Amino acid sequence: MVEDQLRARGIRDRRVLEAMAKVPRHEFVSIAQAAAAYEDRALPIGEWETISQPYIVALMTEAAAPRPGDRALEIGTGFGYQAAVLAATGAQVYTIERNPSLAEHARRNLARTGYQDRVEVITGDGTGGYAAAAPYDAILVTAGAPRVPRALVDQLADGGRLVIPIGSREVQQLHLLVKHGEEVSDTVLEACQFVPLVGKQAWPQAPWPRFFG
């Protein structure tokens, strides 16, 4: 996976590659999907949500550039894989999942794989961020938003990086925002497709029967 899907497609950050090699992806998918865990595609995890393909996880992590000791926030925990990868780079991770059932799955997965001490799973609306642990050096949003939630920008540290898919429900562009004092730079990384980000500062609740990410 690391050589053929990540390094071959341009992922170069050593910490990211080491984290992707270390975290057992098959522990973060359903039993029915375990045989496909290391394929380069998104996999359904139930209730209209997915675990993103390995390349997208690596790309977003590399763009967010977490360093040992950084404080990172993830919006959209799912089964906990992206949070585990962030923790494996040395970051202290706070991750928010709006679905209580998925949040509990993530807690169990993270405990079983030894990342529970570096990851706190919060159940709630992630579009408002998590002010209790702000500011963050890195924020990753693993669902597509119609716009950048203001709360997430406000909770970035100076020099902090926010990686977020922005666009319609069907297709988005992956953006990297970097906060410099009162200014925020915005770079488009590439096209992507994620499930919709649901919450007060994003899309309203609606079933979504296609698997993206």
User: In which order are the strands placed within the sheet that holds 71-75?
Assistant: 119-123, 92-97, 71-75, 136-141, 156-167, 172-180, 183-192
- Top pLDDT among 213 and 2 is at 2
- Is the predicted pLDDT of residue 209 greater than 60, yes or no? no
Average pLDDT score over residue span 1-22:
97
Please report which confidence band the pLDDT of residue 170 belongs to, taking 50, 70 and 90 as the band edges. Answer: confident
pTM, two decimal places: 0.94
The HSE-up count of residue 184 (CA atoms within 13 Å, CB side) is 16
CA distance linking residue 59 with residue 149, whole number of Å: 21
Three-class SS of residue 56?
A: helix
Q: How confident is the model at residue 63 (pLDDT cuts 50, 70, 90)?
A: very high
Q: How many CA atoms lie within 13 A of 62 on its CB side?
A: 20
User: Residue 47: what pLDDT?
Assistant: 64
Token pair for 204 = 């309203």
What Å distances lie between residue 25 and 34, 43, 53, 83, 84, CA to CA?
Answer: 9, 11, 10, 12, 9
pLDDT confidence band for 49 (50 / 70 / 90)? confident
Question: What domains appear along the chain, each with residue ranges and CATH number?
Answer: 2-192 (3.40.50.150)
Mean local confidence (pLDDT), 107-112: 98
Structural contact between residues 174 and 59, judged by C-beta atoms closer than 8 angstroms: yes
Note the pLDDT of residue 206. 56
Contact 47, 99 (CB under 8 A): yes
d(CA 170, CA 68): 35
- Over residues 24-32, the mean pLDDT reads 95
Q: How confident is the model at residue 211 (pLDDT cuts 50, 70, 90)?
A: very low
Provide the token pair at 59: 């790309």
46 band by pLDDT with thresholds 50, 70 and 90 = confident
- Give pLDDT, residue 114: 98
Residues in the chain, total: 213
The token pair that represents 112 in the structure block: 């079983």
Which of the residues are catalytic?
Answer: 52
Give the pair of three-digit tokens for residue 52.
């993103």
| Torsion region of 26: left, alpha or beta (phi above 0 gives left; psi -120 to 50 gives alpha) | alpha
The reply to whether omega before 135 is within 30° of 0 (cis) is yes
Give the pLDDT band (50/70/90) at residue 138.
very high
> For all residues of the chain together, what is the average pLDDT?
94
Q: Does the pLDDT of residue 175 top 70, yes or no?
A: yes
